[in-house]
Amino acid sequence: MDSLRSTPVSGALLVLADGAVFEGEAIGARASVTGGEVVFNTVLTGYQEVLTDPSYAGQIITFTYPHIGNYGVTSVDDEAARPFCRGVIVRELARRPSSWRAEGDLDHLLRSHGVSGIAGVDTRRLTRHIRDAGAMPGAFGTADEATLLAAARAEAGTDGVDLVAEVSTREPYTVGSGERRVVAYDLGVKSMMLRRLGDLATIEVVPASTPAADVLAREPDGVLVSNGPGDPAEVGYVTEAIRGLLGEVPLFGICMGHQLLATALGGSTYKLPFGHHGGNHPVRNLATGQVEITSQNHSFAVAEGSVASADVTHVNLNDGVVEGIRSRDALAFSVQYHPEAGPGPHDARYLFAEFEELMRRAS
């Protein structure tokens, strides 16, 4: 590591907890220090959906694609009312958006929500570093290197932290207009997920802390357990609710919902070295043999062989991670990836129809 140095006001540094240093310049909401767990995402488009995905709470997002912000931003593409990520790292921020849909530029979006960023970073070098060393805490900003290094090492990361409580809705609300009635646990649910399901059902979105008895009192045709941030082992209250719902109502889990269904069925989870964050992950459907290109955003995974009462339905072809399970004893299934595809390919959209079929069988 180079000797400690001060950062010019117009510039910024990114410092990882292991001492690695990357130079850049401040973008978004200016801050002397911004800390969080540094991860990378490999999407080529969909940067706004990524930034507003609540599953990134506690994390700093590195975009591997070198040009970010090219087509600006529009409120239609927001996945939540505001970004929950700690910050953003890019190689080059587009100076001028070019799209008929654009309502503004990315830098303005970041500033309006108080999200700090750093541009001009060698993101190829940073991605390779994270790939080899694993996701780790970091800090960036206009402060000097020593201050940023101390901040990075003081960061808790996402292990052992309940981040769901930070992003979940405080009060129930209703969306969609379909014939079925679905209760959706909001662990950090994305707007596109509700839109896809809203074609099939009228959805009552409830806080993550809602007990199973309160859900069953609503007499739903099915229950969705959504995506969410952080360590699934720290949201045992949701796992307990799922146990109370199994066998009572059809259940569909997505992303963290997948991890929590597996846990409720007796399984266990672990943290991946650098997670799956991107829109191009190949997953094999074991029932059909077909390969689906999927959108993913998770740092934890279900331990292979840990769910004795469920069949594995999907596996990741990159590293063998369990990507889907189906309970043998209850009308319940889940996938680790994002079938709503916001952003990403639409190969897995059929899973919403499978959920509807499950509800039809139970009615």
Q: pLDDT value at position 7? A: 41
Please list the residues that pair with 60 across neighbouring strands: 38, 87
Taking only the tens place, the pLDDT of each residue in 46-97 is 999 999 999 999 999 999 999 999 999 999 999 999 999 999 999 999 989 9
> 356 an active-site residue?
no
pLDDT at residue 10 in the model: 66
DSSP category for residue 7:
P
Catalytically annotated residue among 258, 281, 314, 338: 338
Domain segments of the chain as ranges? 12-154, 164-362
Instruction: Provide the pLDDT for residue 363.
Output: 86
Q: Are 137 and 124 in contact (CB under 8 A)?
A: no
Give the pairing type, strands 251-254 and 136-141. Answer: unpaired
Cα–Cα distances in angstroms (integers) from residue 221 to residues 71, 182, 214, 246, 322, in the given order = 40, 6, 14, 13, 27
Which residue among the candidates 255, 276, 281, 298 is catalytic per the annotation? 255
Mean per-residue pLDDT of the chain: 95
Catalytic residue among 145, 155, 340, 356: 340
What is the mean pLDDT of the segment spanning 303-315?
98
pLDDT at residue 113 is higher than 70:
yes
Active-site residue, 155 included = no
Rounded to whole angstroms, how far apart are CA atoms 250 and 182? Answer: 10
Burial class (CB in 10 A: 0-12, 13-18, 19+), 353: exposed
What fold characterizes domain 12-154?
Glucose Oxidase; domain 1 (3.50.30)
- Residue 85 is among the residues annotated as catalytic for this protein: no
Fold of 164-362: Rossmann fold (3.40.50)
**pLDDT digit string, tens, across residues 157-176:** 999 999 999 999 999 999 99
Q: Which residues, at least 6 apart from 263, have a Cβ–Cβ distance to it below 8 Å?
A: 232, 233, 239, 269
pLDDT at 2 over 50: no
Q: What pLDDT, on the 0 to 100 scale, is given for residue 1?
A: 36
pLDDT (0 to 100) of residue 95: 87
pLDDT at 325: 98
Residue 178 phi, psi (nearest 5): -75, 170
